[in-house]
């Protein structure tokens, strides 16, 4: 049976995910109530069908953005709405069937045990994982650990996470960036700078083939340029905060 909460919700940003989204949302609903999907200007017809699903399911809400704004912007729209309804924590997961719904409850439990923390998924890759993505991730993780002076970020890119809503919302309101694919790594680094502790938990990640309905909007060149520029920003931020980070480390915090 689906577990119901008034403090913790599942939030799924979604952009042209194809058929996989229906299975993803149904699996999440099987684990958790409520589940909210933010349809980020999708043009593949999934938005309309998700809205129709929500009409028959009070535990499912669909928020529709009229134009595509990017993952981070879609997340922020969901966080703003969730905060208004008194939610304190949001578990984010992708809409495209890559993330494990069966890990929702253990992640929510960890969040309840550590309310100030962000609960970060550490990906367990299968044989289906493209090598180029696995390697790219090591580079991003190396930078994220440098930028936070080893604050304990297990994985900088995996989007299966529970965030304290207020901390993330306040951060995003102040930052111009983090609206697109740069959302996941920049959010953890900046939250770590603000003293939000990281709890790392393993979670498998699937890469369904195109025949199985796998869809990705990751554009190798465009998104790596975006991520490189993001790490340049973060390294500058890191240098500016170095005295604070060192003081924290020395203080054992």
Interacting residue ranges for Mg ion, rule: CB under 5 A: 94, 96, 98
Q: How many CB atoms lie within 10 A of CB 230?
A: 21
Residues 6+ apart with CB under 8 A from 85: none
Q: Which of 71, 160, 148, 151 is nearest to 124 (CA)?
A: 160
CB of 44 to ligand GDP, least distance (A): 10
Interaction partner, residue 40 (ligand GDP, Mg ion, none; CB < 5-8 Å by kind):
ligand GDP
- Pick one of 70, 100, 123, 154: the residue that binds ligand GDP (CB under 6 A): 70
Does 71 contact ligand GDP by CB under 6 A?
A: yes
Cβ–Cβ < 8 Å for 3, 29: no
Examine residue 218 and tell whether it contacts ligand GDP (CB under 6 A): yes
Q: Which residues, in sequence order, are CB contacts of 146 under 8 Å at separation 6+?
A: 235, 238
Largest separation between any pair of C-alpha atoms in the chain: 55
Instruction: Please say which residue, 89 or 99, places its beta carbon nearer to ligand GDP.
Output: 99
The Cβ of residue 209 has, within 10 Å, a number of other Cβ atoms equal to: 8
Shortest distance in whole angstroms from residue 128 CB to ligand GDP: 13
Q: Where are the alpha helices (DSSP H) in 66-103?
A: 71-84
40 near ligand GDP (CB under 6 A): yes
Q: Does 216 bind ligand GDP (CB under 6 A)?
A: yes
Which range touches ligand GDP (CB under 6 A), out of 12-20, 27-35, 48-56, 101-109?
A: 12-20
98 near ligand GDP, judged by CB under 6 A: yes
């Amino acid at each position: 049976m689906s577990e119901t909460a008034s403090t913790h919700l599942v939030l799924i940003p979604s952009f042209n995910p194809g058929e996989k989204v229906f299975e993803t949302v149904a699996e999440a609903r099987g684990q958790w109530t409520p589940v909210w999907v933010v349809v980020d200007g999708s043009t593949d017809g999934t938005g309309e069908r998700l809205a129709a699903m929500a009409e028959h399911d009070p535990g499912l809400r669909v928020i529709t953005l009229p134009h595509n704004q990017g993952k981070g912007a879609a997340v922020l729209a969901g966080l703003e709405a969730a905060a208004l309804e008194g939610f304190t924590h949001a578990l984010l997961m992708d809409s495209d069937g890559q993330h494990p719904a069966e890990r929702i409850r253990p992640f929510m439990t960890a969040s309840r045990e550590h309310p100030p923390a962000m609960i970060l998924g550490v990906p367990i890759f299968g044989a289906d994982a493209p090598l180029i993505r696995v390697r790219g991730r090591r580079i991003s993780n190396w930078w994220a650990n440098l930028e936070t002076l080893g604050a304990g970020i297990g994985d900088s890119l995996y989007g299966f996470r529970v965030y304290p809503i207020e901390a993330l919302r306040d951060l995003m309101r102040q930052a111009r960036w983090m609206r697109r694919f740069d959302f996941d790594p920049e959010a953890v680094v900046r939250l770590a700078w603000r003293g939000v502790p990281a709890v790392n938990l393993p979670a498998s990640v699937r890469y369904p083939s195109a025949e199985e309905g796998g869809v990705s909007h990751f554009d190798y060149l465009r998104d790596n340029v975006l991520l490189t520029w993001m790490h340049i920003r973060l390294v500058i931020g890191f240098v500016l905060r170095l005295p604070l980070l060192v003081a924290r480390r020395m203080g054992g915090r």
